[in-house]
Amino acid sequence: MKIARLTTLVLLAVFGLASCSKPAAQKPDVILLHSGRIRGNVYPAGLRNISPLQYYPYLAGYIRKVRDEAKAGGAQVFVVDLGDSMGGSFAAHVTGSQNMTAFFNAAGYDAILLSNLDASVPEAAIRGLRCRVLCPFDGPADSPPVPPAGARLEKGDTTLFLLSNFYGDTDPASQPGRFPASFGPIEDGVRPVRDYSGVLKSLGQKPEKSLTVFGWMKFEPSDTPPEAFLGNLEKWGVDAVLAHRIYGRKEREAWQANGFVDWKPPVSLNILRNNGGFALARLDLAREGKGWKVLHHELVPMTANHTPADEEAVAAIEKFSGAIQAADSPLCELPAPVGAGRILEIYMAALATVPGTGAVAYSEESIRSEWRPGTLRASQVFNSLPWDTGLVQIKLSTEQLQSLADAGILRVAKRAADGGPVLLTTSRFFGQLIAKQPRMERVEIVDLPRTSEFDFFLGCLKANPGAISSGLPPGWTYLTPP
């Protein structure tokens, strides 16, 4: 009798524990991982003297870890980069962005979205990617083709439609300095894709329970959701948004960013970290009826605290060590730090040496770093002026040049002896920006012999290291104050 009663109590206790336990967590059907704005910052591990902190081994390691975990649960994993990643570092410049091609291939990305800072990535680097490449820009009807704005990806029982976007629905005319005027083989007339109905139509019929994802580079959230634009996304059948936000220099970075998963469609947010580190955003989705449900959103810092390094990715980048190290030539010794304002003056003095130049214009906002005391090397010069666009000249009247100086968008200097029209030398990017200013109708932009801004500046410093301690040539004056 006692045994029977004891058995009954044990069974009741077990039943009670089972009934009180938490239900099993719903497993995702799809896991979306997205990076962005890596800016070519993938260096061989031994070159810490050039770039001391490297995050890509952990990024690749986390991707491998998630894929291994997903196999057990049956989820499909898609890995996407939202853009501005193929170029922008000294390593990418030296290798022609092959360092980034090698990294993305080693990590097994499914798609790379290009963005405005990828406009001049060498075609060979893009051709070498073993994944789909998308571009959110196109050109006039008769312009050379660029990668499409959408792709159809198939994995297991999942069909994913991926769309590439730059800056939401922002009108390029409202932010002319942020949109490229040229891209890849398109020399002029580039415009951002804004209507995705035709892009989706070109990808074929949507299977039932397919997933449509919108890749949004340069996401700038407001206090209230952009209802009209989100309505368009819903009209196009977008189920989720992968977004990347770039914080301004004076804006506090919100590392705890948790996305906007309550928006319709939900937004998974990645950010640019102020210290140059990488973050990988993760969005777990499950099928629910005819749509998709967000199970989890996370922003993961790419450090050894979260995942082991991926040795295959490290090995894939090591082969570039010799070329990068050899290119990092010493230029001169700096007794004190050189700030961005002073670097701007040195660069404008270099622009003044271009034959025929009667005026120069540039912006301190484009000087990206200072020079520390000690040996100035080529990689430091690149870090301060990481631009691969070329130089141009524009013929301006005295009145047009003064109106440019008065606008305050660029620092302007002029040779005093030139009283009439002058040839102004600047970068191609700023030349296109100047042409859009008031009173600049029908100005002609003439490209100078093809060389990047960085290569031009480095060549000037190699030929005359003393230029670092000098200013504008004699007879020159600034029309806009420091």
pLDDT band at 2 (very low <50, low <70, confident <90, very high): very low
Q: Give the mean pLDDT of 153-166.
A: 97
Tell me how many helices (H) and strands (E) the chain has: 14, 21
Last residue of a domain, one of 263, 297, 322: 322
In a domain, 7, yes or no: no
Last residue of a domain, one of 322, 337, 352: 322
Of 417, 418, 443, 419, residue with least CA distance to 430: 443
Q: Are 277 and 53 in contact (CB under 8 A)?
A: yes
pLDDT (0 to 100) of residue 19: 47
In a domain, 15, yes or no: no
pLDDT for 166 beyond 60: yes
Q: Give the mean pLDDT of 439-458.
A: 91
pLDDT (0 to 100) of residue 278: 81
pLDDT band at 14 (very low <50, low <70, confident <90, very high): very low
pLDDT for 16 beyond 70: no
In which element (H, E) is residue 288 found? strand 279-288
Same domain, 357 and 310: no
Same domain, 275 and 384: no
In a domain, 170, yes or no: yes
pLDDT (0 to 100) of residue 3: 47
Q: Which of 253 and 391 is assigned the larger pLDDT?
A: 391
Query: What contacts 286, CB < 8 A, 6 or more positions away?
Result: 26, 27, 28, 29, 30, 292, 293, 295
What is d(CA 91, CA 324) in angstroms, rounded to the nearest whole number? Answer: 6
CATH number, domain with residue 348: 3.90.780.10
Same domain, 224 and 242: yes
What is d(CA 325, CA 404) in angstroms, rounded to the nearest whole number? Answer: 41
pLDDT for 132 beyond 60: yes
What is d(CA 203, CA 417) in angstroms, rounded to the nearest whole number? Answer: 60
In a domain, 347, yes or no: yes
Same domain, 293 and 210: yes
Q: Give the mean pLDDT of 394-408.
A: 94
Same domain, 233 and 362: no
pLDDT for 402 beyond 80: yes
Backbone phi, psi, residue 7, to 5°: -60, -40
pLDDT for 377 beyond 50: yes
Least confident of 107-121, 246-260, 307-321, 454-468: 246-260
Same domain, 184 and 254: yes
Same domain, 176 and 199: yes
Same domain, 63 and 34: yes
pLDDT for 10 beyond 60: no
Backbone phi, psi, residue 185, to 5°: -80, -10
Last residue of a domain, one of 281, 300, 322: 322
pLDDT in tens, 117-128: 999 999 999 999
In a domain, 223, yes or no: yes
Same domain, 294 and 382: no
What is d(CA 93, CA 101) in angstroms, rounded to the nearest whole number? Answer: 13
Q: How many domains does the chain have?
A: 2
pLDDT in tens, 378-392: 999 999 999 988 999
Could you tell me the pTM of the whole model?
A: 0.90
Same domain, 58 and 181: yes
Domain range for 364: 329-478
Q: Are 433 and 373 in contact (CB under 8 A)?
A: no
Same domain, 271 and 335: no
pLDDT (0 to 100) of residue 202: 97
pLDDT (0 to 100) of residue 416: 86
pLDDT (0 to 100) of residue 257: 60
Encoding tokens for residue 57?
A: 């081994």
In a domain, 20, yes or no: no
- 132-134 and 150-155 beta bridge pairing: unpaired
In a domain, 1, yes or no: no
pLDDT for 335 beyond 80: yes
CATH number, domain with residue 158: 3.60.21.10
In a domain, 24, yes or no: no
Same domain, 144 and 234: yes
